[in-house]
Structures are given as C-alpha cells and as structure tokens.
Chains A and B, each alone.
Chain A
Amino acid sequence: MTTNTLFIRILAFGAIVAIIAGLFWSQNPAFLSTGNIRALMRHMSVNGVAALGLTFVIVVRHFDLSFPGVASFGAMTMGWLIAGGQPLWMAISGGLAVGLLFGIFNGIAVARFKLPDIVTTIATGGLAIGFSYFYSNGTSISRNFFMSGLLDINDGRFLGLDRPFAILLGAALIGILILNASRFGRAFYATGENETAAWYSGVPVNAMVVAAFALCGLCACLSVVLLVASSGAANVSAGTQLLMPAFAAVYLGAALFGRPSVLATLAGTMLMSLMLNGFTLLAIPYYYSDAIVSTVLILAITCFDPRISGALRRLIPARKEKLA
C-alpha cells in the first residue's frame, strides 16, 4: 500500500467516525462527554487486545475459535492463583501462560499436523472451558481480589490515560512493530499470502503459524485480565463475550484498510465500540448488541471477500482494466 492510499483510507476512516459520532451526539449530547469517551476507551481496551492477537491468525489465513474458551481458563487460573495468595505478577503470568500454551498447542496441531483449524480450535476451546471448571467447580472467584491490587489495573491511570487503554496502546505499538515494521511481519504476511512461495523463499512457515496462534492465545488472556480487573471477579464464562467483537473488529478493519493489520484492527475495534456504546446510550436493549455486532461482521466479511470487491470493481466501467 502506498503512503498515499493509506492516507486516503485514514481520512475515510476519520470521516466514518465523525459521522457515527455526530449521529449519536445529535440523539444524545452525553455521547461526547468526557465520562462517556473514557467509558468508550475502556470498552475498546478489552476487545481491542483480543482482536490484536486474532489479527496475526487472520494474517496467516487461519482461524482461531478457541481463544474465548482459553481466555476463560486464563481468567480462572489467575483468579485461583490470587485467591491462593500468590503475588499479582505471578497470578497474571499464570493466566498469560495458559494462553501462550494453548496457542502453541493450536499452532502445532494446525501447522505441523495439518489438522483443520476451525474444528481443532473449537475442540481446544471446549477443552479449555472444561479445565476452567476445575478450580472452583464453576463458581466465580473473587477472594483476595481487592487486596491483590488487580483492580488498580482497571482504576489506575497512566500518562493521563485510563490504564486499560494505555495497555491497549502499548500492545498495539508492539503489534505494529512486529507485524508492520519487522522482518517477522513480512514472514507472517508471506505465509498467509502464499504458503508454498513463502517456504520456497526460506520463510519458516510452520513456525510463523505457531507464533500467530501463540500471540492470539496470549492476547486473549491479556484482554481477559483487563476484563476481570474491571468486573472484580473471575468466572468461567469470562471469555465468551470476546469472540464476536474480535472477529468483527479484525474483518471490519481489513475491509476499511484493504488487508488485515494492527492499525486496521484498532480502527475496527474503535468503530465497533462506538456503535455499541452509542446504542447503549440510546437505551437500545443490550441483547440487541450481539445482533448488531453480527450484522457488522457479515458486512465486513462481504467487503473483504475478493470476489465481492471484484464484482464491485466490475461495476465501474473497464476504464482501468489491465490490457490483456
């Protein structure tokens, strides 16, 4: 993508944000209040971190449906460690380790053993949910949470930003460095674009797929840490709400920016959160939000699909058509 088209796409994204924000603001001026914007950024943080990890899996053209289950297991592991009196850093590391291990497991199954990604990750996700019941037979854990300092992750501030949002920005920055500025990023894209050609070019394609799944698991568990910090309790269904918004954010971003990338995912997350937050303010019942997210997901997939975008392009007369 040239800098020029990137600039145009960012402008277009800004315009969409302005229109949506303007619409909600005209219905309810509280939409642009400081309080609401902070709530919005907080909401973005949880979904954004999960979507960030998923971006890598989508870039290598695979699917991970296990990360919600893995996140639940991570949440319960962390909760169990806190309740057992472990220091906070240890508890968080334990939660993240769960994500990393499941991700690596998924990646090896898919890359090395060529198992079908969708079915495999549904199964590992189910497995992770099963494991998450072990600690407390399925009851939620909140013992020691207040004393552990976990809640400060949600309430604290960093450089004037709410801490969850600062964590999202930090994770996104690392993501941009890896995926869009480093040689590993090239290898991720090359693997997804044409695995055979990438292998012939010396790219360790299996390792890239494993790394993508590992990052996805890790990010899912990081996002659930933020979620648990805001709710104050770990429960076995903590991760389930991550699935749809993460996929919607990645695909919406890819539709806006022409391909999946960290920046695109951030943009997608922001649009999703804008809409969900706006509908909440308009007092549209929460149970519609799943339907709204799903609708956006379908629209985004439609735009991202080369056949559809190709058909749209064909509607514009053959002016720029390549000479055969």
Chain B
Amino acid sequence: MGAESFLAMRGIDKRFGDVRALNDVDFELEAGEIHALLGVNGAGKSTLIKILSGVYSKDAGSIRIDGEEFALGSPRAAIEAGIAVVQQHPELVGDLTGAENIFLGQEHRRSGLFSPVNGQDIRRRAAALLERFPIDVDLDRAVDDMPAVDREIVAILHALRLENARILILDEPTSTLTEREKESLFEMMQTLKAQGLAIIYITHHLDEVFEIADRFTVFRGGRRVATHGVAEAQREGISIPNLMLDSVAGDIFPPRSDRVDGEVVFEARDLSRQGEFEDVSFSARKGEILGIFGLVGSGVDELSKALFGVLRPDSGELHLNGRRVRFRSPAQALKAGIFLVPGDRRTEGLSMDENVIFNTTVANLGRASLGGFMRFGRNRRDSGALAERVDLQPRKLDRPLRGYSGGNQQKVVIAKGLYREADVYIFVEPTVGVDIGARAKIYTLMRELSDRAAVIVISSDCDEVFGVADRTVALYKGAPIGAPSREITRDHLLHAGIMGEAV
C-alpha cells in the first residue's frame, strides 16, 4: 500500500449516545510536520484529539504509528505510544521552578520513599532536555514569575520529557499569549519540527495557520471535510471559513453604520491611571460602534475596568448623557446605565454552576423581582425570549453554564446585558475561545445594540476591531495613537497598536 504516513488514523468512529461525534474519519500526519486542526466547536476535532491521547476510546477504526498498530485505550497507552499532549490550560505548580515542574512526579530515577529530591539532578536533566530542543528559556525561575509564553513552553517540555515522544498535540496554545509571545512560541514549534516531531495544533485563529502550519485539516459535523497544504490553499485561494461553515459564510462582520450624527452617550476626557493608560479621550455615540485595539499589556484591559468602576482613574473625567459621573463600584456603573461584557467570562462574567435563567437575570435583580420576591414565571419567559434573540444553542434554560460551549456562554453574558437594558455596552475581547458561527452572531448582536445604545468594543484582535467597529483607535503602551476615526485602515490600526506608529 505504498508509503504510509507516520501517523495514519483510518475509519475512526465515535458515538456519544445518539450523537455521532466522529463519522468514518481518516487523518494522516507526517513526521516533521505542523498540522493544524480546524473546525467550529463540536465539529469533532477535540474528540479526535481525545481518542489520540487515550481519553476516549474509539468505537471503530485503526490507528497506526510508524507502521505499528496501537489501540490507545488509556492515557497511559497513549504516552507509551509516544504521544505527548499539552492541554489548553496546563496545570503548573506556581511555586516550583520550570525544571521542577517539568519533572514533577519523576524527581527520582530510583523509586523509594526516602530518596531525597535531587535538585542538581533535575537541573541536569532539564539541561539535557534543552539540548535536545534548543529553546531560549530560563527553567530556574518559579513558574509564577514567568511570562505566559514561558509557562506554555514549560508545559510543552513537560509533555516532551519522555525520550520516546514523537507526536506532540497542542490545544489552542496561543489563546493566552500576546502577539510577540506568539512569535516565540512559533519559533519553538519550528525547532521541535526540525527535530522530527510531528505536531498537531488546534486553533481558532485562521491567520496563525498560514503563519505556522504546513498543512491543515478542517472538520465539520464529525466528518473530515478537507486536508490541504497551506501553500496550496494560498495559491488556489481556498477559503477556510467556507470549509468550516455549512453555508457559504461570506463576511462574518455586519455592514458598517452610515449614521454619523448619533447623540453622544458616553464620553471619556483625558482619562489616566498611573502606569496603565494615559490621556485617553473618546466619545461613544448612539448608532455606531467605537473600537479600541490594543495588545495584551497595552492598558486596554485596565481601561475597560476603569470605565466600569472596577478600577478608579487617577485623573480625567467620564461623562454619561452629558453629566459627569464617577463610579466607585460596578454596581454604580450598572445603575448609571453601563454594562460590561468582561474579557474573562469564566471568572468575571458567569456563575458556571448556575443555569441560564439565573445568569441572565442576576445583573438586574430589581427587574427580576417584585416587592423583593423573584418572579419565577416571568423570568423564565424573559430568559427564554433573550436566549432566542441571542440564538443560544441548545436553548435549555435549566442547564448550568458549564454545559455550554464558549460561544454560547458568551451569548448568555450578552443576554444578561440585554436584560439590563443599558445605555452603554462595553465588550472586552468578545470572541476569545468562540467559534466562527457564534462570532458572526455576536457581531450582529453588537450591531443591533448600537441602534439604541452606545457600543464600545475593546480587543487585542485587530481584525475584530477593524471589522466590527465604525470608528477605531489603537492604544499602544497605555497611550492612544491619534483620535478615534472612521478613516483608519486596517494596516494603520495594526501598526499603531503593535508599534505605536501614527498615520
């Protein structure tokens, strides 16, 4: 049968109850290749990865690595087969050094209750590992003191600490990294690739695919839709979003607004906070979306919190509907008519163990109750209507948020904002970890909201800010580059945000 691929998965089937998560899937991977897995949430890419890493067992099909058949029924079997997995949010021990984390649980070469942990030995083994994979990282620092990218590198080295590792799986490794950190991670991936490792790489960022991957495979509805070489896809103009979505998606951004004279609702004047942002001024109008682009660490996160009363600005003024306002807490900002869709929905936006109704109504308990008592029937109806409006999938109001995908969790945060009926909506990183179908819906909702409220989107994704907002401005090291304008092109915005260059 000719030259077989290094990893060959054939006819893989996996069912969960009535749902066919994987349907006769073939997948091939070569040594020394970076292979991106693409697909909306639920398309089957995670299921495939979990079968490969031994978390799920396949219902049918065969897996051959280097010509040898493997069953891979357990994580242990997968490790023995040379498959190394780095989870999306790797668990590291913050107080221990990078090297100690890498060899956690394997400090001893000889087992024995009383054999002392040998720090020197661990450092020597870490050095040996770095010799195999030459990467510029200081493994003697505590993990808590490391930048996010070094933590990711430690997690990868942890996965690769076994000599036999030959397939590396990275699940959205760039989701917490800044643009520059991403580059160092990509450098590391190139190094590993040069060592002959086969790398599978899951991402939601399509631009990364062209930057780092050699080939990509697209999943949709449990089937493999296509595998292409990146060069080939570029040459032939293959549209990945079209492959990922059932219908031809076209542009995921709604059309721009041509309303320019909407009344000013929310205004910032020379807002500053020491070491975080300075002299930020903007006005947000009804009828249009204001976009603020800034990388992680540029002060956008702190700015959004200062607008919502979480942080207090050192100087400058906020004006809401023509009146000066000062917020000492989010409660005051909410009361004044501002709603924040926070950047980290899991820790700042939602009660993950509570259901859709609870989360939808919690930011407006006054509306949800009468004389202090909850209006259960009415809240259910209102939540149901809002769930329909944001297109929640599946629309199960009693299901805890934990049971929803990232995109649908974000829709619940937006439903919560709609229930609040605010005058100003601030969206921070609104589509992190959100699949492309839900992204399009979220952008449409933002556009709808802008009809009757001021909408501000703050994001480290330049295309998102440029695509959805009418007027944009970039924040670079805390300082706005120019004033918000309709005339800024995507390239100018990108340059302003990444290098601080004015037009």
Contact = CB atoms under 8 A, between A and B. Distances in A.
B416 interface: yes
Interface string B1-45: 000000000000000110101000000000000000000011000
B495 to A, nearest CB: 33
Contact of B374 (A1, A181, A204): A181
A147 interface: no
Interface string A151-195: 000000000000000000000000001000111111101100110
A194 B349 CA distance: 9
A206 to B, nearest CB: 10
Interface string B348-370: 11111110001001111110110
Contacts of B56: 318
Interface stretch (B265-273, B282-290, B329-337, B461-469): B329-337
Given A2-B398, A319-B16, A183 B365 contact: yes
B114 interface: no
B142 interface: no
A184 B310 contact: no
Contact of B369 (A182, A199, A202, A324): A182
Interface in A113-143: none
Interface residues of A, number: 30
Nearest to A259: B353
A320 interface: yes
Nearest to A5: B398
A188 to B, nearest CB: 11
A198 B42 CA distance: 30
Given A183-B374, A200-B342, A318-B56, A193 B353 contact: yes
By CB atoms of chain B within 10 A, which of A185, A203, A323 has the most?
A: A323
Contact of B351 (A182, A190, A202, A324): A190
Given A181-B373, A182-B369, A318-B56, A200 B47 contact: no
Contacts of B351: 189-190, 193-194, 197-198
A187 B350 CA distance: 13
A139 to B, nearest CB: 45
Where chain A touches its partner, the secondary structure class is helix
Contact of B330 (A194, A200, A319): A200
B354 A193 contact: yes
A196 interface: yes
B17 to A, nearest CB: 5
Contacts of A183: 365-366, 368-369, 372-374
A83 B257 CA distance: 79
Interface residues of B, number: 42
B340 interface: yes
B64 interface: no
A324 B373 CA distance: 38
A2 to B, nearest CB: 5
A2 B400 CA distance: 11
B274 interface: no
A201 interface: yes
Nearest to B342: A200
Given A194-B347, A197-B347, A201-B330, A186 B17 contact: no
B46 interface: yes
Given A189-B358, A202-B330, A203-B362, A197 B372 contact: no
B255 interface: no
By CB atoms of chain A within 10 A, which of B47, B56, B330 has the most?
A: B330
Nearest to B361: A186
A196 B47 contact: no
Contacts of A322: 403
Given A2-B398, A196-B348, A200-B349, A321 B374 contact: no
A204 B365 CA distance: 12
A318 B57 CA distance: 10
A5 to B, nearest CB: 9
Given A204-B331, A324-B50, A186 B347 contact: no
A320 B396 CA distance: 15
Contact of A197 (B19, B41, B331, B348): B348
Contacts of A177: 373
A181 B358 CA distance: 12
Nearest to A177: B373
A194 B17 contact: no
Contact of A199 (B19, B330, B335): B330
A322 B21 CA distance: 10
23 contacts: A183-B365, A183-B366, A183-B369, A183-B372, A183-B374, A185-B374, A186-B358, A186-B361, A186-B374, A189-B358, A190-B358, A194-B347, A194-B350, A196-B348, A197-B349, A199-B330, A200-B308, A200-B340, A201-B334, A201-B416, A203-B331, A320-B16, A323-B42
Interface of A: 1-2, 177, 181-187, 189-190, 193-194, 196-204, 318-324
Interface of B: 16-17, 19, 21, 41-42, 46-47, 50, 56, 308, 310, 329-331, 334-335, 340, 342, 347-354, 358, 361-366, 368-369, 372-374, 398, 403, 416
Given A189-B358, A197-B350, A322-B403, 20 more contacts: A177-B373, A181-B373, A182-B369, A183-B372, A186-B368, A189-B351, A193-B352, A197-B348, A198-B351, A200-B349, A201-B334, A202-B330, A202-B334, A203-B365, A204-B331, A318-B56, A319-B16, A320-B16, A321-B16, A323-B21
3 closest Cβ contacts across the A-B interface?
A324-B46, A193-B351, A201-B363
